[in-house]
Copies of this chain bind each other. A is one copy, B any other.
Amino acid sequence: MGINREDYPHTGGMRYATGAPMIPAMAVSTKHADLLSRLLKDDKNLNFYMEMHCQTLEDAPSFNVVGELRGSEYKDEIIAVGGHLDSWDLGQGAHDDGAGCVQSIEALRIFKTMGYKPKRTIRAIMFMNEENGLRGGQQYADLAKLKNEKHIAAIESDRGGFTPRGFTISAPQDKPEKRAKIQSWKPLLEPYGLSDFGSTGGGADIGPLGPQGVVLIGYLPDSQRYFNYHHTSEDTFDKVDKRELELGSASMAALIYLIDQHGLK
């Protein structure tokens, strides 16, 4: 059976190795790639005409969007949760990463609706420009350092709005006990379908916070459908299941609650 065959291309970032000739390159769908391969097999001298209208425009101002619930007891300890605002222009970016943005906002909304007063400051961040250079994530980390902010953990949702499976966790090399502490909460989260805490990793946007000693966490949903939609014209709102999306927000809120209550020493 192998991989799905599709009519639509998956786009994404592209770069040239140092010294490699900068030949033109474009994304084509798997079905069109199959067709090209068949045609080339029949005719080794096949001529292929390819027209692209891509261009890189001048930089323009853009912004991260940040909201927070101020902590009551340790307000200087920040738990960040975020996704990224930008997406590839051929779709809507509903799963990549509209889902992560609304889940991050929703985690804070859940706390507000419950009347929960966090001990620590919980901050939702919509990062700008993940897809084309990670400048929002980099700028956020630079500003955090400049302002001497203390992030204890950062959670990113950037794998789509699908059914929860777990979290990926990366702790600073000299603080493995922080990762173990989060993993020790597995019995509390497993009844809700969160059973996978075994992988490392955080997320692209929160990555630049890593060198500041921040525990990086990635929300891990079911992965089976993400790459049907990722970076394609099919990544549209109708592909997001409301219930699955909400379960993800609730999972993230549950983990934030545990970190807020118990800290990460």
Residues of chain A whose beta carbon lies under 8 Å from any beta carbon of chain B: 1, 4, 163, 165, 193, 195-196, 222, 224-225, 228, 241-244, 246-247
- Cβ-defined contact, B242 with A225, below 8 A: no
Complex Cα–Cα for A8 and B246 (A): 22
Chain B residues near A225: list those with CB within 8 A. 241, 243-244
CB-CB < 8 A to A242: which residues of B? 1, 4
Shortest C-beta distance, A204 to chain B (Å), equals: 24
| Contact among B4, B165, B193, B241 with A228 in the assembled complex (CB-CB below 8 Å) | B241
**Most chain-B Cβ atoms within 10 A of its Cβ — which of A163, A196, A247?**
A163
Task: Please name 12 further chain A to chain B contacts, defined as beta carbons within 8 Å, in addition to the given A195-B196, A228-B243, sorted by A numbering.
Answer: A1-B242, A163-B224, A165-B193, A195-B195, A222-B222, A224-B243, A224-B244, A224-B247, A225-B241, A225-B243, A225-B244, A228-B241
Q: For the complex, what is the distance from the CA of A142 to the CA of B55, rounded to whole Å? A: 71
- Within the complex, what minimum Cβ distance (angstroms) separates A153 from chain B? 25
- A151 CB, nearest partner CB in chain B, Å: 30
Q: Which residues of B contact A165 (CB under 8 A)?
A: 193
Known: A195-B195, A222-B222. A243 touches B4 (CB 8 A): yes
User: A247 CA to B224 CA in the complex, in Å?
Assistant: 9
**From residue A143, how far is it (CB to closest CB) to chain B in Å?**
34
- Give A253 Cβ to nearest chain B Cβ, in Å: 13
What is the minimal beta-carbon distance from A222 to any residue of chain B, in angstroms? 5
A99 to B163 CA separation, bound complex (whole angstroms): 20
Interfacial chain B residues near A241, Cβ < 8 Å: 224-225, 228
Task: Tell me the complex Cα distance, A1–B248, Å.
Answer: 14
| Chain B residue at minimal CB-CB distance from A190 | B195
Query: What are the residues of chain B within 8 A of A222 when measuring CB–CB?
Result: 163, 222
